[in-house]
C-alpha cells in the first residue's frame, strides 16, 4: 500500500510538473508582457492546471479503487475457503474421534485440537503448549519405548510414524491410544513440523486383552480343542479349522496336517461305528453330542477318546462352528476294563463257590436223609437185644446232631445268597411264644425264672423265620449255659426308641470271657465251652440273620455272672 | 390208595426207603422204580406201548423224582416227558424229592405245571399221610 501511495504521489508530481510546463509554454504566447496580462496569465494558468490536475488525480484514484475492490473480493473468497476447510477439519476430527496435534519442532510449539478436551477431559486452559506436556502424559511404562521409536523416526526422517501407548486423562486414568504422525520437511529436507492424530483404542485394547485371556484357555488347556466349520456336504463330520497344542500333543498331528480335513481321519478299524453314527446324527440336527470311541494317533497308535461336539452360533444366532473337546481316556478305560474283568472273574468265582456249596450240601444231605428215614422206620421195629438198642440210640443221637449241623450250615449258605429277604411287621410277643413252645421240654426241665417285659402291641419289621431262629438260638443258649449253682433267671426286655427297637435278652449264666474271646464270639466255628452239643454255629447264624434284616447285635458278659445280648432293629 | 406210583432215584437206599415207607403208609398198591431219568422215561414209554394192547395196564399216577441223577437228571426227564408223552398222563403229577438247597431249583420247579410238590428228603410216613387226601 505504501509503495502504491508513493507511486501515486510520484506519478502525480511528474504529471503536474509536465502539465505546468505545457501550460506555461502554451499560454505564454497568448499574453502580452504587461502586469495585467501577467496576472491574468497566471490566473488562467492556475485554473487550467488545477482542473487538469484534478481530472488526472480522479482518473488515477478511480483506477486504484477498482483494483482494490477486486483484491478485496479475492481475499473474501480465500477467507471463506479457509473457514470451510477449518470446519471440515474439525468435523473430520470429530467423526474419527481423533485428537490432532501439531508440533513445530524447532520452536517447540505444540497445538492440540478440541479432541484433547472432549476425549481426554482436559480444560482448554490446562492444555500445555509444548511437547513436554505431551511426553509427561504418556504412561511411564510406555514412555521409554515410545520416545525411542519417536526419536529414531525423527532422525531417520521417514514420512510416517505410528505407535501405541497409554495416555493420561485429566482424571488421572489412562486410555490406550493409537498415534499416527506425519513429518513436514523444509526445502533442505530438515524436519520442521510434525502433525499427528491420536485415536482412543481403549475399548479395542480391553477387548483384545479379554480375547487373549480367553484364548489362553484354549492354548494352555490340557484338553484337546478342535474347531470345525459346519459344512457336511463332503463328510458327515465337518472340516477342522483349528486345533490347539494339546490336540497336537495327544494325537501327534500338527495343525497344518489336519486343518481343512474331517476328524473322520482319526477313525479306524476298531472305532465304535455306533458311536460315530450317533455323532453324525447329532451333527445333522445341530445337537450337542458326547461319544467315546477308539481313535488313532498319527503314528497309528490306538487310544480311547472322550469326544464332545458342541454347536456354536455367531452374533446373528446362525450356526457357525462346532467346538469339539477331546480327552484321552485310555488309562481310565483300561482301568475300567480291568475292573470289569476282575468283577466278572470274582462273580464267576463266587458263583462257582456257591454252586460248590450247594452240591456239597446236597451230597451231605442225601445220605443223611437216608439215615434219618431209616431210623424213623426202626422206631417201629421191636428190638430185644439191649446192647443193640443202646448202639442204635447212639446212632440216632449222632444222626440228629449231624442233621442239625448240616441244616444250620445250609441256613448260613442260604442267608449269604439271599440279601433281600421278605420282611413283615411281626409282634415280638408272638415270636417268643413260638420259641417257648419249641423249648417247652427244656423250660419244664430247668424251670428258669423268665421275666418278660415287652409291650404286647410292639411289633418290628422283620423276617419271621429268621427272627424265630435268632430268638430260639439265644434262648436255648441261655438255658444251655446256665449256672449250675443257682436258679436260672432270664430277662427279656424291649425298649421302643424313636427310630429303632432294642431287644435285650439277659441271663445269669456262666458268661463268656469277652477279654479273651470278644472278637470271636460271633465267628464261625467258635466254641467257648466244652459242651457236647455245642457246634460253634449258633451265634454266627444269629449275627448273619440279624444283619441280613438290617439290624445289629451287641454282647456284654462277665464270667460267672451272666450274659446280655442287645439286638437293635430299625423301624421302617 | 393209589394204584401205581413211580420212584426215580439213583440211590438204591433211597429207593429201598421209599418202598418201605410207601408200604407202611399204605400209599399205593404198586410201586415202580427207576435209577435215573432215562430209565424212568423208557419204563413209562414201554408202559404206554403195552397199554395199547392191554388196557389193564396202569400208568403211574404219581412220580417221586430226584433231581441229581446220572445219564438223565430230573430236569431232563421232565423236559422229555413234557415234550413227548405227557398227553397220555393228564392225571399224572410229579413230586420232586430231593436234598437240594439251591434256591434256583425251587424257582425252576415252579415253571413245570406237572410238578405239584417240592419236598425235602427223607420220605416219611407223615409226609405221605399229608399227601393222601390230595391224590386219592
Give the mean model confidence (pLDDT) for residues A219-232: 90
Place of cell 445337537: A287
Between A459 and A572, where is the model more confident? A459
Cβ contact A376–B124 (<8 Å): yes
B103: which chain A residues are within 8 Å (Cβ-Cβ)? 414, 417-418
**Max Cα distance, chain B (Å):** 44
Least confident of A173-177, A335-339, B49-53, B86-90: B86-90
The cell for A238 is 465337518
For range B75-104, the mean pLDDT: 84
User: What fold characterizes domain A96-207?
Assistant: Beta-Lactamase (3.30.450)
With contact defined as beta carbons under 8 Å apart, do A514 and A565 qualify?
Answer: no
- A77 in reach of chain B (CB within 8 A): no
Confidence of residue B89 (pLDDT cuts 50, 70, 90): low
Taking an 8 Å cut-off on Cβ atoms, the answer to whether B17 and A377 are in contact is: yes
Q: For chain A, give the mean pLDDT.
A: 87
Please list the residues that pair with A161 across neighbouring strands. Answer: A181
Query: Nearest by CB to A413, which of B11, B101, B125?
Result: B101
Question: What count of CB pairs under 8 Å joins A to B?
Answer: 60
The CATH fold of domain A420-570: Heat Shock Protein 90 (3.30.565)
d(Cα B93, Cα B106) in Å, to the nearest integer? 16
Indicate the range of A278-282, A398-402, A410-414, A434-438 predicted with least confidence. Answer: A410-414
Span B93-118, pLDDT tens digits:
899 999 888 888 888 899 988 899 99
In a mutational test of the A interface, the residue from B13, B119, B122 whose CB has the highest number of chain A CBs within 10 Å is B122
Instruction: Check CB contact under 8 Å for B122 and A369.
Output: yes
Please judge whether A372 and B122 are an interchain contact, meaning their C-beta atoms are less than 8 angstroms apart: yes
3-state helix, strand, coil split of chain B in percent (to 5) is 45, 20, 30
The predicted pLDDT at position A296 comes to 93
Closest CA–CA distance from residue A505 to any residue of chain B (Å): 32
Query: What is the complex's ipTM, to 2 decimals?
Result: 0.80
Mean of pLDDT values over A94-104: 84
3 state SS of A495: strand
Helices (H), A428-537: 428-438, 440-446, 464-480, 514-517
Task: Kindly indicate the confidence band of residue A454, based on its pLDDT and cuts at 50, 70 and 90.
Answer: confident
Q: What pLDDT was estimated at residue A419? A: 58
Provide the pLDDT for residue A1: 53
Which residues on chain B are in Cβ contact (under 8 Å) with A373?
A: 14, 17, 21, 121-124
Chain A residues within an 8 Å CB radius of B23: none
pLDDT at A157 over 70: no
Residues of B within 8 A of A358 (CB-CB) are 100-102
Q: Among A23-32, A105-114, A424-433, A460-469, which stretch is predicted with the lowest mean pLDDT?
A: A23-32
Touching check for A376 and chain B: CB below 8 Å?
A: yes
Percentage of chain B exceeding pLDDT 70: 96
Report residue A533's pLDDT band, with 50, 70 and 90 as the boundaries: low
The pLDDT of residue B88: 65
The yes-or-no verdict on residue A530 having pLDDT over 90 is no
Q: Chain A residue closest to B13 (CA)?
A: A370
In tens, the pLDDT along A426-438 reads 888 888 998 998 8
- Summarize pLDDT for A184-198 with one digit per residue, the tens: 888 887 888 888 999
Query: Which residues are registered as beta bridge partners of A183?
Result: A194
Distance from CA of A382 to the nearest CA of B (A): 15
Give Cβ neighbours of residue A516 (< 8 Å, ≥ 6 apart): none
Chain B CB contacts of A368 under 8 Å are 99
Superfamily assignment of B2-135 in CATH?
Answer: Response regulator (3.40.50.2300)
Q: How confident is the model at residue A420 (pLDDT cuts 50, 70, 90)?
A: low
CA dihedral in degrees (A25, A30, A33, A35; nearest 10)?
Answer: -100
What are the distances in angstroms from CA A66 to CA A69, A75, B74?
5, 15, 144
Strand order in the sheet with A224-228: A240-243, A224-228, A319-328, A302-313, A289-296
- How confident is the model at residue B97, as a pLDDT? 93
Higher pLDDT, A27 or A424: A424
Residue-range domain boundaries for chain A = 2-79, 96-207, 222-328, 336-405, 420-570
Contacts of B25 in chain A (CB under 8 A): none
pLDDT (0 to 100) of residue B90: 67
* Residue B86 confidence (pLDDT) above 70: no
- Whether residues A373 and B122 touch (CB distance < 8 A) is answered with yes
Lowest-confidence range among A14-23, A227-236, A299-308, A409-418? Answer: A409-418
Q: Using a pLDDT cut of 90, give the percent of chain A over it.
A: 29
Distance from the Cα of A365 to chain B's closest Cα (Å) equals 6
- B127 to chain A: closest CA residue: A373
Backbone angles phi, psi at A500, to 5 degrees: -150, 170
Mean pLDDT value across chain B? 88
Please give the CATH number for the structural domain made up of A222-328.
Answer: 3.30.450.20
Give the integer Cα–Cα distance in Å for A258 and A239.
9
- Residue A40: predicted pLDDT: 81
CA-closest candidate to residue A541, choices A420, A410, A390, A345: A410
- Residue B96's CB is within 10 A of a number of other CB atoms, namely 24
Lowest mean pLDDT among A4-13, A125-134, A336-345, A444-453: A4-13
Rounded distance between C-alpha atoms, residue A199 and residue A251, angstroms: 45
Question: Scanning every residue of chain A, which has its alpha carbon at the shortest distance from the alpha carbon of B9?
Answer: A366
* Cβ contact A377–B120 (<8 Å): no
Higher pLDDT, A533 or A289: A289
Percentage, residues of chain A above pLDDT 70: 96
Asked whether A327 and A313 are in contact (CB, 8 A), the reply is no
Looking at residue A416, its pLDDT comes to 67
Which H helix or E strand runs over B126?
A: helix B125-135
Domains A96-207 and A222-328 are alike in CATH topology: yes
Q: What is the pLDDT, as a whole number, of residue A75?
A: 93
Angle at A39 between CA A37 and CA A40, to 5 degrees: 65
Question: For residue A319, what is its C-alpha cell?
Answer: 450356526
A377/B contact by beta carbon, under 8 A: yes
pLDDT at B31: 93
Instruction: Of A1-10, A18-27, A487-496, give the range with the top mean pLDDT.
Output: A487-496
Inter-residue contact A274 to A294 (CB < 8 Å): no
Q: Which of A294, A308, A299, A322 is nearest to A248 (CA)?
A: A299
pLDDT in the model for residue A225: 93
Amino acid at each position: 500500500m505504501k509503495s502504491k501511495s508513493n507511486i501515486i504521489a510520484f506519478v502525480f508530481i511528474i504529471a503536474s510538473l509536465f502539465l505546468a510546463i505545457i501550460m506555461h509554454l502554451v499560454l505564454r504566447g497568448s499574453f502580452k508582457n504587461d502586469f495585467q496580462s501577467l496576472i491574468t496569465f497566471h490566473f488562467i494558468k492556475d485554473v487550467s492546471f488545477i482542473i487538469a490536475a484534478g481530472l488526472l488525480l480522479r482518473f488515477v484514484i478511480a483506477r486504484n479503487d477498482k483494483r482494490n475492490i477486486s483484491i478485496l473480493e479475492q481475499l473474501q473468497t480465500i477467507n471463506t475457503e479457509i473457514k470451510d476447510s477449518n470446519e471440515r477439519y474439525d468435523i473430520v476430527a470429530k467423526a474419527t474421534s481423533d485428537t490432532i496435534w501439531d508440533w513445530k519442532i524447532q520452536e517447540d510449539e505444540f497445538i492440540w485440537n478440541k479432541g484433547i478436551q472432549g476425549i481426554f477431559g482436559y480444560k482448554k486452559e490446562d492444555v500445555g503448549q509444548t511437547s513436554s506436556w505431551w511426553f509427561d502424559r504418556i504412561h511411564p511404562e510406555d514412555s521409554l519405548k515410545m520416545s525411542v521409536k519417536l526419536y529414531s523416526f525423527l532422525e531417520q526422517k521417514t514420512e510416517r510414524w505410528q505407535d501405541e501407548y497409554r495416555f493420561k486423562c485429566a482424571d488421572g486414568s489412562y486410555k490406550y491410544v493409537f498415534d499416527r504422525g506425519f513429518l513436514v520437511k523444509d526445502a533442505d529436507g530438515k524436519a520442521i513440523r510434525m502433525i499427528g492424530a491420536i485415536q482412543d483404542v481403549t475399548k479395542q485394547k480391553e477387548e483384545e486383552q479379554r480375547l487373549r485371556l480367553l484364548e489362553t484357555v484354549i492354548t494352555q488347556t490340557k484338553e484337546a480343542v478342535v474347531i470345525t466349520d459346519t459344512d457336511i456336504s463332503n463328510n458327515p463330520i465337518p472340516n477342522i479349522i483349528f486345533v490347539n497344542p494339546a490336540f497336537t500333543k495327544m494325537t501327534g498331528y500338527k495343525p497344518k496336517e489336519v486343518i481343512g480335513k474331517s476328524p473322520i481321519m482319526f477313525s479306524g478299524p476298531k472305532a465304535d461305528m455306533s458311536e460315530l453314527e450317533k455323532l453324525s446324527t447329532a451333527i445333522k440336527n445341530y445337537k450337542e453330542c458326547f461319544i467315546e470311541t477308539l481313535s488313532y494317533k498319527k503314528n497309528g497308535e490306538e487310544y480311547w477318546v472322550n469326544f464332545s461336539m458342541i454347536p456354536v452360533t455367531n452374533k446373528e444366532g446362525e450356526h457357525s462352528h462346532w467346538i469339539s473337546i477331546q480327552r484321552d481316556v485310555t488309562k481310565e478305560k483300561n482301568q475300567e476294563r480291568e475292573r470289569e474283568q476282575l468283577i466278572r472273574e470274582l462273580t464267576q468265582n463266587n458263583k462257582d463257590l456257591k454252586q460248590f456249596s450247594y452240591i456239597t450240601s446236597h451230597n451231605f444231605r442225601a445220605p443223611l436223609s437216608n439215615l434219618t428215614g431209616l431210623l424213623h422206620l426202626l422206631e417201629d421195629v421191636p428190638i430185644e437185644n439191649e446192647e443193640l438198642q443202646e448202639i442204635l440210640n447212639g446212632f440216632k443221637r449222632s444222626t440228629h446232631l449231624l442233621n442239625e449241623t448240616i441244616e444250620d450250615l445250609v441256613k448260613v449258605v442260604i442267608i449269604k445268597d439271599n440279601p433281600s429277604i421278605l420282611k413283615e411287621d411281626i409282634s415280638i410277643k408272638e415270636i417268643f411264644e413260638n420259641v417257648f413252645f419249641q423249648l417247652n421240654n427244656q423250660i419244664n426241665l430247668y424251670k428258669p425264672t423268665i421275666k418278660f417285659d415287652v409291650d404286647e402291641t410292639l411289633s418290628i419289621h422283620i423276617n419271621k423265620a429268621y427272627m424265630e431262629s435268632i430268638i430260639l438260638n439265644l434262648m436255648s443258649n441261655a438255658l444251655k449255659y446256665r449256672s449250675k449253682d443257682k436258679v436260672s433267671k432270664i430277662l427279656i426286655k424291649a425298649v421302643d426308641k424313636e427310630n429303632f427297637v432294642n431287644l435285650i435278652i439277659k441271663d445269669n449264666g456262666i458268661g463268656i470271657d469277652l477279654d479273651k474271646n470278644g472278637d470271636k464270639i460271633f465267628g464261625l466255628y467258635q466254641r467257648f465251652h466244652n459242651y457236647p452239643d455245642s457246634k460253634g454255629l449258633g451265634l454266627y447264624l444269629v449275627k448273619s440273620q440279624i444283619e441280613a434284616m438290617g439290624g445289629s447285635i451287641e454282647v456284654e458278659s462277665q464270667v460267672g455272672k451272666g450274659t446280655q445280648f442287645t439286638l437293635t432293629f430299625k423301624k421302617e | 390208595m393209589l394204584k401205581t406210583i413211580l420212584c426215580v432215584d439213583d440211590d438204591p437206599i433211597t429207593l429201598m426207603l421209599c418202598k418201605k415207607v410207601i408200604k407202611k403208609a399204605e400209599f399205593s398198591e404198586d410201586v415202580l422204580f427207576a435209577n435215573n431219568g432215562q430209565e424212568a422215561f423208557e419204563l413209562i414209554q414201554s408202559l404206554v406201548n403195552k397199554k395199547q394192547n392191554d388196557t389193564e395196564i396202569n400208568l403211574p399216577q404219581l412220580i417221586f423224582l430226584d433231581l441229581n441223577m446220572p445219564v438223565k437228571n430230573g430236569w431232563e426227564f421232565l423236559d422229555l416227558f413234557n415234550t413227548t408223552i405227557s398227553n397220555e398222563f393228564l392225571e399224572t403229577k410229579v413230586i420232586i424229592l430231593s436234598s437240594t438247597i439251591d434256591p434256583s431249583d425251587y424257582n425252576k420247579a415252579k415253571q413245570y405245571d406237572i410238578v405239584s410238590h417240592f419236598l425235602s428228603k427223607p420220605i416219611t410216613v407223615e409226609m405221605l399221610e399229608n399227601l393222601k387226601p390230595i391224590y386219592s
